[in-house]
Amino acid sequence: MPVGVAMKISAVEEYGLRCLLQLARSEADPQLVSAEEIAAREGISIAYVEKILSQLRKAGLVKSVRGMYGGYQLARPAKDIRVGELVRGVDGDFFADICQHFSGNQHACIHMGNCSVRPVWLMVARHVYQILDHLSLADLLNEEDGLEKRLYAEFPLPLLGASLGQRAAEQAVAPRLELTKTSNNEEYTHV
């Protein structure tokens, strides 16, 4: 990710998505996936995986079967589960309580009647959810470079003219060229 372009994602959202992706990778296998397998593959504790899977089950994203041959599987095909569903399912809407969360020592923000900041966060939320609701788990099983290019093509940043994120990504991966003069010839060399 380009420097300076970041968004805070909760641990439950990150690990919830990782658990869902582990189940999506095993979708073709009729055998259920255990919490122990997911924990081992992701390097997190079994107890935490079980807690997350419980939330994902309550959100209707996974099914569980108890018993010796029990485990977990996706509740629907990976192509039908949207990343936005995960976020809303485990943490609720991450923009919903912005006015209550940052109200200082008041019950509600003192700017509730006339707030010039709220429209900014609402616009950001709309754009974030537009992308998250567009992406399926199946999309996230693709290679990073291909998905990144697709996202830049499908979600350009029109307010910034040429996409700032696209330019930053291109600069990060493209080798820099430097013009050097040698006698009467000009050459570009990798820096």
Compute the distance between CA of residue 191 and CA of residue 175 in angstroms, rounded to an integer.
7
133 vs 6, more confident:
133
Model-wide pTM > 0.75: no
pLDDT given at position 99: 63
pLDDT in tens, 121-180: 788 888 888 999 999 999 999 888 888 888 888 887 665 444 455 555 555 544 444 444
pLDDT in tens, 39-53: 999 999 999 999 999
pLDDT given at position 22: 96
Compute the distance between CA of residue 134 and CA of residue 119 in angstroms, rounded to an integer.
22
pLDDT given at position 58: 95
**Helices within 67-163 (DSSP H only):** 83-91, 98-101, 118-134, 137-140, 144-154
CB contact at 8 A, 95 and 124: yes
Domains contained in the chain, CATH given: 11-158 (1.10.10.10)
Average pLDDT, integer, range 97-105: 58
Residue 174, C-beta contacts closer than 8 angstroms, at least 6 positions apart: none
pLDDT in tens, 16-31: 999 999 999 998 888 8
pLDDT given at position 179: 42
Tokens for 81, please give them.
């589960």
Task: Spell out a b/e string for 135-155, using b for 16 or more CB atoms within 10 Å of the CB, else e.
Answer: bbbebbeeeeeeebeebeeee
10 vs 60, more confident:
60
186 φ/ψ angles, rounded to the nearest 5 degrees: -105, 135
